[in-house]
Amino acid sequence: MAKKLAPPVKSEVKKKAPAKSEAKNKVSVKEQGPMKSEVKKKAPAKEKAPLIKTQFELNAPEAREVFLGGDFNNWDTQVTPMKKDKNGAWKTTLSLQPGRYEYRFFVDNTWVSDLSCAGCVPNDFGTMNCIIIVK
């Protein structure tokens, strides 16, 4: 809440140059926006790399439900369902930025590795995560 200031006493209204110590403490009653020279220009926005459609596939005709989990979806076992085709292959396509991703399939409530992946790395649970490089 703003304080109401008492009207200035006539002796304070006289125009005299303020002492250097007074000038530092003087506050303007009317605030104005920054002058053009004081306005900081925003840095140009970084252009994001284009998203690349990336297909994941798992051949598991006996499975009832399959989800894809990975660092691209915080390993959420319910957010990326896969669809089964007539040949028993489960597929999904994600739009990902170029980079390296770890993933696994969540088949009927069990984590399963992609046997066709080019590379794997150990995870904190004593199993292996699959690697995909999106270019």
Q: Which residues, at least 6 apart from 91, have a Cβ–Cβ distance to it below 8 Å? A: 55, 56, 57, 82, 83, 85
Q: Sign of the CA dihedral 80, 84, 85, 90?
A: positive
What confidence score (pLDDT) does residue 131 get? 97
Secondary structure percentages of the chain, helix, strand, coil, to 5? 10, 35, 55
% residues pLDDT > 90 (the chain) = 63
**pLDDT tens track for 41-69:** 666 666 777 999 999 999 999 999 999 99
How many Å from the N-terminal Cα to the C-terminal Cα in the chain? 56
Mean pLDDT of the chain: 81
**pLDDT tens track for 69-112:** 999 999 999 999 999 999 999 999 999 999 999 999 999 999 99
Beta-bridge partner residues of 90: 58, 84
Query: Domains in the chain and their CATH numbers?
Result: 52-134 (2.60.40.10)
Maximal C-alpha separation, the chain: 96
Q: Where are the alpha helices (DSSP H) in 18-94?
A: 20-25
